[in-house]
């Protein structure tokens, strides 16, 4: 019996790309509706907006990971242009997602404070600030969706979904070797980050964040190639998701500390706006970040 012929890689890559393009395009109308409702003062369900934004960002990450890991399958400059424009749109969505993370973590931190460290009504102050910021970011996002640049991205996504610009040698792209290359890159970045943590390098948090992004890239590549990689892929996907989530908690702490520092600068102690409780939560977040980094490095 002759050996089973490997499928044309364009079949798997194309199907995966099409799914991500569709997810991004389908979210445009409800995101626009939510932004317009908030701008008009009509109530919107925060959880719905958060889910829309999250799902769109995940689709954009999967799309961009595919363009990076399987770069040889596509023509240039088409690949690079979509990579850049998808990154721009993902960044436009990022601020809203960060606010959801901040909301959850700061409220948990405030709830954990002893009564002696609670001054005033920090929850009300947090709610007011985040409501204002969400409205501002949704308004900005609505503006993004009306730009010529977004119209260009929409056109690209539609075109790539229907007919990706395949390179002449796309059918020769080895899915297994590309996934292995992504794994090697992840191993290197994790090692670099662990070394930085152990040396108290001020760039350690940034390097851990880079390692997290590389873990996502490897996970999505394995996800795409799962029909070729076989049954063991599921365990790999679970492991990469666990690594991604662990490093994600560290990044969430970094984002939360940055927000609290900015909140303190903006509010100060003017007109009864005591920010002592927020400072206490920031200290907890910094401790969580430091402890988490050390635990990660100790296991590495």
pTM assigned to the model = 0.90
Closest CA to 6 of 210, 175, 119, 184: 175
User: b/e string for 263-275 if b means 16 or more Cβ within 10 A?
Assistant: bbeebeeeeeebb
DSSP string, 126-182: HHHHHHHHHHHHHHHHHHHHTSHHHHHHHHHHHHHHH---B-TTGGG--HHHHHHHH
Nearest-angstrom CA–CA distance, 279 and 274:
10
Q: How far is residue 102's CA from residue 223's CA, in Å, rounded to a whole number?
A: 29
pLDDT in tens, 13-61: 999 999 999 999 999 988 888 877 776 767 666 667 778 889 999 999 9
Average pLDDT, the chain: 91
What does the pLDDT look like over 88-101, one tens digit per residue? 999 999 888 899 99
Rounded Cα gap, residues 244 and 88, in angstroms: 22
Instruction: Flag whether pLDDT at 270 surpasses 70.
Output: no
* Residue 2 pLDDT: 42
For the segment 177-230, what is each residue's pLDDT rounded down to a tens digit?
Answer: 999 999 999 999 999 999 999 999 999 999 999 999 999 999 999 999 999 999
pLDDT at position 186 is 97
> Rounded to an integer, what distance in angstroms lies between the CA atom of residue 240 and that of residue 265?
38
């Amino acid at each position: 019996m002759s050996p089973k012929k490997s499928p044309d890689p364009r079949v798997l890559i194309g199907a995966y790309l099409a799914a991500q393009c569709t997810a991004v395009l389908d979210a445009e109308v409800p995101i626009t509706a939510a932004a317009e409702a908030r701008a008009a003062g009509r109530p919107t369900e925060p959880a719905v907006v958060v889910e829309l934004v999250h799902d769109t960002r995940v689709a954009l990450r999967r799309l961009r990971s595919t363009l990076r890991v399987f770069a040889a399958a596509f023509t240039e400059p088409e690949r690079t242009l979509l990579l850049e424009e998808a990154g721009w749109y993902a960044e436009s969505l990022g601020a809203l997602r960060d606010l959801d993370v901040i909301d959850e973590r700061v409220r948990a931190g405030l709830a954990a404070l002893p009564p002696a460290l609670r001054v005033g009504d920090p929850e009300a102050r947090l709610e007011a600030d985040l409501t204002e910021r969400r409205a501002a970011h949704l308004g900005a996002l609505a503006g993004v969706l009306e730009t010529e640049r977004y119209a260009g991205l929409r056109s690209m996504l539609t075109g790539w979904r229907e007919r990706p610009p395949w390179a002449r040698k796309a059918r020769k792209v080895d899915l297994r070797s590309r996934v292995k290359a992504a794994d090697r890159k992840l191993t290197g970045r994790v090692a670099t980050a662990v070394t930085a943590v152990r040396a108290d390098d001020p760039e350690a948090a940034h390097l851990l964040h880079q390692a997290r992004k590389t873990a996502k890239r490897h996970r999505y590549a394995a996800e795409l190639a799962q029909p070729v990689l076989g049954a063991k892929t599921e365990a790999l996907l679970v492991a990469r998701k666990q690594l991604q989530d662990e490093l994600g908690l560290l990044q969430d702490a970094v984002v939360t500390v940055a927000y609290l520092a900015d909140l303190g600068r903006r509010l100060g102690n003017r007109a009864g706006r005591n920010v002592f409780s927020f400072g206490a939560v920031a200290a907890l977040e910094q401790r969580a970040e430091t402890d988490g980094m050390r635990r990660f490095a100790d296991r590495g």
